[in-house]
Amino acid sequence: MCWLCGWVQLAGIEKHYQAGNIIAKYYSADNLPSSKHLGADVLQFLEFYENLTYSDSSFSDHFNNEAFETKQIRLHWRIERNSSLSKKVKKLKGYKCEACEMKFVDKYGEIGKQFIEAHHLKPISELGIGKFKVDLENDFAVLCSNCHSMIHKLADPSDLNELKKILTSVNSNGLN
């Protein structure tokens, strides 16, 4: 059994996703478990979740400017992504946000050069396990960090046009 305990060192933008995970088990892509084995692992995860308890004894209704961080070791489920896809999408679509048209290089200079985030228009969670063909032009959008976060707040995170409408509405009403 290969339960992941501790931090997996991730590079690039992927490193920001590790804090959002609670539990994980690593399966090599060329040695996936049987359905029975996978089901047993899911049941084990559910048991872990049932035993979770809230343990922040420092919580108080009284507000002040102090806060405490806790460093913990957690187990994680992780969907492996192909990082070369992201690079290909960025090279194909460029480095201008498809929603707000911001270019990081214009805002941050040299450190913003060739920086943008690739967004799956079809959520990764809806994709099956294993290999599947993707269309780099139509299955992805390139978005700035803010637009990438905001598109995930929409009812349909694949609706780039809805995000553009929101931006147009906000900008035309002088709310920006």
Give the pLDDT mean for 147-161.
Answer: 95
- Bigger pLDDT: 1 or 41? 41
Residues contacting 56, CB < 8 A, separation 6+: 70
What whole-number percentage of the chain has pLDDT above 90? 39
**Cα angle 17-23-26, degrees, rounded to a multiple of 5:** 85
Here the tokens at position 70 are 């806790």
Q: What is the pLDDT of residues 45-78, one digit of tens each?
A: 888 777 776 665 555 566 677 777 887 777 766 6
Put simply, whether the predicted model's pTM sits higher than 0.75 gets the answer no
- Bigger pLDDT: 41 or 88? 88
Q: What is the pLDDT of residues 77-88, one digit of tens each?
A: 665 667 788 999
H/E stretch holding 46 reads helix 35-50
pLDDT of residue 53: 67
pLDDT mean across residues, the chain: 81
pLDDT of residue 163: 97
